[in-house]
Chains A and B, each alone.
Chain A
Amino acid sequence: MENFITSKESLEFLKDAFRKYYENNKIELPDRFGRREFAFVFFGGKGMMRHIGFEKKIHLTNFLKEKSPCHTYYSSAYYQMPDAATMQEKNWMGAELIFDLDSDHIPEAEKLGYVEQLKIVKKEFYKLVDDFLLNDFGFDKKYIELYFSGGRGYHCHVKNPKILSLDSNERREIVDYITGRDLKDSLVFHEQVTGTKRYRGRSYPSGKTLKMPTPDEPGWQGRISKGIIEIVNEIKKSEDPIEKLKEYGVKQTDAKKLLEDLSEERVTRIKEGRLDQSKTIRKFFLNSALRKTAVSMSAGETDEPVTCDIKRLIRLPGSLHGKTGFKVEKIALDKLHDFDPLEDVVVLSDDLVKVELKQPFNIKMKGEEFNLGSGEQELPAYLAVFLIGRKMANII
């Protein structure tokens, strides 16, 4: 993929395909439209055109038709003067809370295909919305909006009026919470005295056990316990527990030892909330339960999670993603389960075009299987755009 150069003709083709889309489709615009900053990247262009504000909707739709940008963004923040050149002059008024779940940052995702990557992201997304946003944070469903990014992930916008003015520091706390950062185990587990000895009229603890919170306790306390019990069950029920442990990142030799230690009696004790296990077992469970229940999230330019960035640009819903040709689409929460980008957001035409494909490629799009060999191919425009966008083909 490294040395592949997208030809001038290909860029023209992409631009033309995008123009047709913008001419024939209406774009729904974000709320507080006039207070948002817009930004664009053009086909074959260098860098990003920023600090654009549109007073009227028609100005933006005309702009899209005329310029047919490769990528279209708007700001999660709203400003007094969205088109001012510096942030100070813009005068920040507030910003939605944005969660960016993309497969980029999910370990091992690189090796997987597009469809599998999206599946993993979806799983993370359910954790984010169900466990955290709705349950812990108690946000009303009507304030939660979900978008397919057009690429390899999903965005979630929280629009609860109370959170709009949170600064980036405060947003970081929310991210730390959701990603499970800095959990203090001494706050999760507490020591409980199981027996006392009396000596010279005073009592001293004679036995101690480490007590795990009950699964229904609020916040991370309950969450960790639930996670631990789930993992124990998984391991015990598994036909090949060693393999299962390896999936959790335990080395072969350690897995054997761990399993030996995890006697029936111990399992019962864990389920009763007593975690007076060896240190290794405890560590293993704590770390695994944390990873299992926390959400992994994308980082921005300076490795800051994007949620903390109160001036972030995000893709405009309804616009097209320049690397896939897919539409950035709003998804109803209850529709997420069945959402399939390769079916639902392929919006470009199916006119046939000829491309030169760099390597063999298989994909199912719009219900049709494509098993393509390298070399010259005649393909529907939507697939051609996808392949050119991913630097796998050029137009001929």
Chain B
Amino acid sequence: MVELSTLSKYSFLNASKNYVKDNGLSVEELLDDPLYERARTTGIERLDNAFNNRDAGNRSLATESDCIMELLSYPIARMIAVCIEDVYFKRRYALGEAVHAYKNLINEPTSFLFDISKEFNLDVKYSGDTNKIRIYFVDYLRNAPTRYKEWKMINRGLKNGYIQISHRDLARIIQEALRTRINEELDSKSCNKAIYKTFSSDIKRIQNIVLIHRKNIEAAPIGKLDITKLPPCMKTILASIQAGENVPHMGRFALVSFLNSLKLNSNEILKLFSSAPDFEEERTRYQIEHIAGRTSSTSYTPPGCEKMRTYGICPVDKTDDLCKKKRHPLSYYKAKWSQEKNKK
């Protein structure tokens, strides 16, 4: 039996979920019973902390009641996050919970991390005698922040499919697996009406904050780039990145190489990405500089319309007349400029 304090620290564990289930708590009780008032306020606190500080935050777990409230605040926070109905917010919340878990995990014994990695179906090998941790490279690739140079697989010892990692590395990998899991869970659920009613004032308050935050991002000008002249594809990719949607690599690649061809420098491009909820400066900078050819010898050329279509990142429903005449997003952008000049 896992201790209650552990369950409340890691409320995402199956054992934690079972605890709530086994105690027969209903959603109604959680929402109405004065006994759980503190769990409800803590739930809101988790959301605010995650959005503002990128960490759901620590609270005292001294008493049994502390622990129970903390444990229950997690499902409450998640249900509210769904009701905020904003991708950007959801991503940021998931990150805040994952980072929070990471900060606790690094202080746990490795055997504990090993058990958790099993819950995430990570193929990890750990021997208590040698204290060596190894992870199958596929699970490593899925979860490790390989945009950092020291995380790149080439800078790790790979043998027979397994990579040796440290305790801290494993905690970081679990953080990422947790983030992905929360994102998926939040995306697959829809808002529960009872939740919305109970928390409507907080939900509206948070929605407002998110709105203001978004406006600030979108209004910021970027160098010499005229966003209104971007072709539909680039507009769409940019909007998704800023909204915190999961943009596939090819999309990021297309946008960065496109902006690079327009002579935007890394800092300017970085600024565009900086509003993404899971933005990590160093990691993104590395990625940008890689594509722009500043850290490697090759600079990639942006893909043309044909290639964009094959990759499903040309938004067919949003293309316009100019698109029909052009075969490359760059020539679209340039044509927009000359159109304007001709008008004058």
Contact = CB atoms under 8 A, between A and B. Distances in A.
A378 B57 CA distance: 84
B303 A136 contact: no
28 contacts: A86-B309, A87-B309, A87-B311, A135-B159, A137-B160, A138-B162, A162-B136, A162-B138, A166-B138, A167-B249, A168-B250, A173-B141, A173-B146, A176-B154, A182-B149, A184-B152, A218-B158, A219-B154, A219-B157, A219-B158, A219-B163, A220-B157, A301-B303, A302-B300, A302-B303, A303-B298, A303-B300, A304-B253
Contacts of A219: 154, 156-159, 163
Contact of B312 (A87, A183, A303): A87
**Closest 7 interchain pairs by CB?**
A138-B161, A138-B160, A218-B159, A218-B157, A87-B312, A169-B249, A219-B157
Contacts of B137: 137
A16 interface: no
B153 A176 contact: yes
Interface string A163-205: 1001111101110110011111001000000000000000000
B164 interface: yes
B310 A311 contact: yes
A139 B161 contact: yes
B161 A86 contact: no
Given A87-B310, A138-B159, A303 B153 contact: no
Interface in A279-335: 301-304, 311
A302 B307 contact: yes
Interface in A213-267: 217-221
A221 B157 contact: yes
Interface residues of A, number: 36
Contact of B159 (A136, A172, A181, A301): A136
A163 to B, nearest CB: 6
A136 B159 CA distance: 4
B155 A184 contact: yes
A217 B164 CA distance: 11
Interface string A12-32: 000000000000000000000
A337 B171 CA distance: 45
A166 B141 contact: yes
Nearest to B313: A87
A88 interface: yes
Given A181-B296, A187-B155, A302-B301, A135 B160 contact: yes
Contacts of B300: 302-304
A183 B154 contact: yes
Interface string B20-35: 0000000000000000
Contact of A181 (B154, B164, B248, B312): B154
Nearest to A172: B249
Interface of B: 136-138, 141-142, 146, 149-150, 152-164, 248-250, 253, 257, 295-296, 298, 300-303, 307, 309-312, 316
The DSSP consensus for interface residues of chain B is: mixed
Which of B136, B157, B253, B257 has the most A CB atoms < 10 Å from its CB? B157
A37 B157 CA distance: 37
A302 B160 CA distance: 32
A177 B301 contact: no
Contacts of A87: 309-312
B159 A177 contact: no
Contacts of A181: 154, 296
Given A176-B152, A187-B150, A86 B312 contact: yes
Contacts of B309: 86-87
A136 B158 contact: yes
Contacts of B163: 219
B315 to A, nearest CB: 10
Given A166-B138, A166-B141, A303 B301 contact: yes
B154 A180 contact: yes
Contacts of B249: 167-169, 172
A173 B164 contact: no
Given A137-B158, A176-B152, A302-B307, A170 B142 contact: yes
Interface in A123-159: 135-139
Contacts of B146: 173
Given A87-B311, A221-B157, 17 more contacts: A136-B159, A139-B161, A167-B249, A169-B249, A173-B141, A173-B153, A182-B295, A183-B154, A183-B155, A184-B152, A184-B155, A218-B157, A219-B156, A301-B307, A302-B300, A311-B310, A311-B311
Nearest to B164: A218
Contacts of A184: 149-150, 152, 155
Contacts of A170: 138, 141-142
Contacts of B301: 302-303
Contacts of B312: 86-88
A88 B137 CA distance: 28
Nearest to A222: B157
Contacts of B150: 184, 187
A393 B249 CA distance: 45
Contacts of A220: 154-155, 157
Contacts of B248: 167-169
B161 A137 contact: yes
A177 B303 CA distance: 24
Nearest to A216: B159
A311 B303 CA distance: 15
Nearest to B295: A182
Nearest to A313: B310
A218 B159 CA distance: 5
B138 A163 contact: yes
B169 to A, nearest CB: 14
Nearest to A88: B312
A169 B66 CA distance: 43
A221 B154 CA distance: 9
Contacts of B316: 86
